[in-house]
A and B are shown apart, each in its own frame.
Chain A
């Protein structure tokens, strides 16, 4: 009992010292030389080189300012002459309730305030239990805390060593000698991710476009990374189902899966970028501070005057009639190849397309997501639907030849209200079973068993009609 009070007093004495000596000033961080490697699938590898002042022998080191969503099982600590005895990640948080639970059997100071006079009365009390309410022993009386509803401050002598303000990583190390020494802490964390954003300014008259590429990285991990050397990896590593990840603290849900591919033909060229295994690497040119809840963009691509063309596509999903003409898709076609293209591999992201209006101001004309695209690929982005280009498919006749064989006569009317002749790629899909084209007004191609394609020239301010007869056997 007596010993305990002495200990308490000692800690009380230590408190002002703590307040003066070790309080971090705003903007300070416990992080050292930080390197962050960010993957596309909401994952990052953090390497934090800190200088620890270790006593010789065993000591317990706490690591503040690590990611609030750290995956503790991936932590490694390396330093010359430093052995790891154990690693702990403590979730036992310092809360008023935990403080009271830890004080059971111990003494606290009770300050009662007289509501009429404001006079304070101090007494020592022993906490007997903290179940539902707090039961105290004061001298030889047993009392329930604030049972009378009157104000009463409870002052604890100390914070139990096991309780922490935030989930805290601690490592017990064995050092072969005392003194400061560099150690490297590495771990994986969700909450950091990146994607690319492209700004494409399309010059239709000259069939050219200027493309700027930006990497966009987001930090929702709950922690800032100060003055970090940052490397972005174009790819997803492990943990293919992000929903299986564990989230600590205020994590945001993971991003949706990537959109369907838009690559017409995948390229086979190697871009002049750093590579690691199958992945391209995009290092940020300088160190930067990635603040919490921050979206950061850095330029990585700037191409002027790459060739690009506009095309039109229409796909009739089944051998059916449309009650009204339907707009064809506007497709922006370009290449990522070295010659006549963007000349780079394109990390997954969103391409936003702009075109200049009559006064020369860029206006947004649609966007589309792209997957990781190798250099040398042919890309077709459906950016929207053409107001003035429409297609109306009509079933002219459907004849039953037998119980499993039908003949369908289709007519497609393509209209063009623009003052320029265009070509529309007209697809008829849904050719299930054995479906053959027995008669057609324009030669078709058969890119796959399920589809036929016509490249239909449509005159300026005019229309074109394609007819075809399908023989379907199921």
Chain B
């Protein structure tokens, strides 16, 4: 017989817990999402399985709470939610605490919670198909399952018989997904709109620029997609959708997807005089399948995301993201509500400029030694209205197209970083195989002279820029922004030569 005061205390406690009403808000009524980039991704394509960006989700939910104490559970939040970032507004002082429970309903958790409880042990006769059920108390679950039946102590599934345990209810406190909830106490019933905001992992976005160079090569049309990616299990329907450009400080928080324990079946030593494992024998005898009782939560790898579409021939009435300033970063707002589905990418037009004046420069930063290499093609412009630009340019990849007999041809790929209005913009493309440089060294030591010869296989002249260290000395060199430059034009189907020394 146990001590009466303890029992009384426990009963009182149970009563208290029961007094708390549970109110579930199944889904948001309205949702807004702001997506932030992964600043470290660089040119790597978006991988829906591993998105390093994040998003701020703000949900409006209409809730009705009874008077007294209640637990308001928010369902339908993203699985990447960072629980400590959650903000609930609209309930004021009534909020006592916020909780996130990550104990999930799983075979192992079900059995663990049943430790010391009475369950039904169900055995099916393989020969006759007759089902026999008897009560059993779970005595241990840590490494193999030990049961107590009316007959004595037995181990689960060590017998070679098909047997399983059946519970009559789900233990309290276990949920299918990690659940965010608030404990609320209010003197009167409450009915109002509540806003839930939280930061979630599993989102990212990028800008994808599509540029087409004019036949003369002095202007390009520039167009950019805003590509949003949602790698979460939860989609956001009809969401006010925004994206933020700029690099914000954030310490990535890995969110536990919840604890999903399998049932561990282990038996006593089962060696026999045969070297065929017992399980194999049993399988061979009955054709029985081995049932997997638990598994890790893991998303199956979806197919690789499609490359950004090239600018297609489209009619009027494009939907374009609207830019606004937010503190020291840029906010792009998609003017209509859109659905950001789970495990998907979405593209909206970010900007469009019909004619941007550009210069093409071929650049090389040679080492003072013998070498042979192609020059890198760089498109140079300034982010000015005078050049046909003059708007913030968020970082992203650039696909450069040319036109050959009315047909679009990809002629280069590069990337740009974030550029403010007024900045010089350099889009570094690939190497140009026809513009090549050869380096030679004449003499040695302090008297060494370096010779760079640039050749051009094109029927037009090309502008080149050779970047040398600060101590390079030569007749045609100019100092510019911490480098010494040789700027020249290489004649059509011709070559140009530079000689310099190092002042060391």
- Within 8 Å by CB of B266, from A97, A214, A395, lies A97
Question: A363 to B115, Cβ gap below 8 A?
Answer: no
Question: B153 to A296, Cβ gap below 8 A?
Answer: no
Question: For A53, what are the chain B residues with a Cβ–Cβ distance below 8 Å?
Answer: 1-3
The chain B residue sitting closest to A11, CB to CB, is B152
Question: For A452, what are the chain B residues with a Cβ–Cβ distance below 8 Å?
Answer: none
Chain B 339-369 against A: per-residue CB contact (8 Å), 1 yes, 0 no?
0000000000000000000000000000000
Question: B142 to A23, Cβ gap below 8 A?
Answer: no
The yes or no answer to A50 lying at the interface (CB within 8 A) is yes
The yes or no answer to A327 lying at the interface (CB within 8 A) is yes
Chain A 383-400 against B: per-residue CB contact (8 Å), 1 yes, 0 no?
111111110101111100
The chain A residue sitting closest to B83, CB to CB, is A295
The chain A residue sitting closest to B284, CB to CB, is A149
Kindly state the interface size class of chain A when it binds its partner: 35 or more
The yes or no answer to B4 lying at the interface (CB within 8 A) is yes
| 7 interchain residue pairs of minimum CB distance | A133-B271, A321-B482, A96-B155, A149-B281, A100-B268, A151-B160, A94-B140
Chain A 356-382 against B: per-residue CB contact (8 Å), 1 yes, 0 no?
011001111111110000000000001
Question: B113 to A26, Cβ gap below 8 A?
Answer: yes
The yes or no answer to A288 lying at the interface (CB within 8 A) is yes
Question: For B16, what are the chain A residues with a Cβ–Cβ distance below 8 Å?
Answer: 227
Task: List 6 interface pairs A-B (beta carbons < 8 Å), by A numbering.
Answer: A149-B274, A152-B160, A226-B13, A297-B97, A387-B246, A387-B392
Question: For B3, what are the chain A residues with a Cβ–Cβ distance below 8 Å?
Answer: 51-53, 180
The chain A residue sitting closest to B160, CB to CB, is A151
Question: For A321, what are the chain B residues with a Cβ–Cβ distance below 8 Å?
Answer: 481-483
Interface residues of B (CB under 8 A from A): 1-6, 9-10, 13-14, 16-17, 32, 34, 36, 56, 58, 83-87, 95-103, 113, 115-118, 125-128, 130, 135, 137, 139-146, 148-155, 158-161, 169, 171-173, 183, 197, 199, 242, 244-251, 256, 258-259, 266-274, 278, 281-282, 285-286, 324-331, 333, 392, 417-418, 420-423, 426, 470-471, 479, 481-483
The yes or no answer to A292 lying at the interface (CB within 8 A) is yes
Question: A297 to B98, Cβ gap below 8 A?
Answer: yes
The yes or no answer to A61 lying at the interface (CB within 8 A) is no
Question: For B256, what are the chain A residues with a Cβ–Cβ distance below 8 Å?
Answer: 252, 293
Interface residues of A (CB under 8 A from B): 12, 15-16, 18-19, 22-24, 26-29, 32-33, 50-53, 93-97, 99-101, 109, 113-118, 130-134, 144-147, 149-159, 163-166, 180, 195, 197, 199, 202, 204, 212, 214, 216, 224, 226-227, 250, 252, 259, 284-286, 288-289, 291-299, 310, 321, 324-325, 327, 330, 350, 352, 355, 357-358, 361-369, 382-390, 392, 394-398, 415, 417-418, 461
Question: B171 to A99, Cβ gap below 8 A?
Answer: no
- Interface-central residue, A26, A159, A298, A398, by most chain B CB under 10 Å: A26
Question: For A117, what are the chain B residues with a Cβ–Cβ distance below 8 Å?
Answer: 127-128
Known interface pairs A130-B268, A363-B34; A23-B327 also in contact (CB < 8 Å): no
- Within 8 Å by CB of B470, from A109, A134, A357, A397, lies A397
The chain A residue sitting closest to B132, CB to CB, is A118
Question: For A157, what are the chain B residues with a Cβ–Cβ distance below 8 Å?
Answer: 152-153
Question: B328 to A384, Cβ gap below 8 A?
Answer: yes
Known interface pairs A165-B139, A363-B242; A149-B160 also in contact (CB < 8 Å): yes
Known interface pairs A133-B271, A158-B153, A291-B101; A368-B249 also in contact (CB < 8 Å): yes
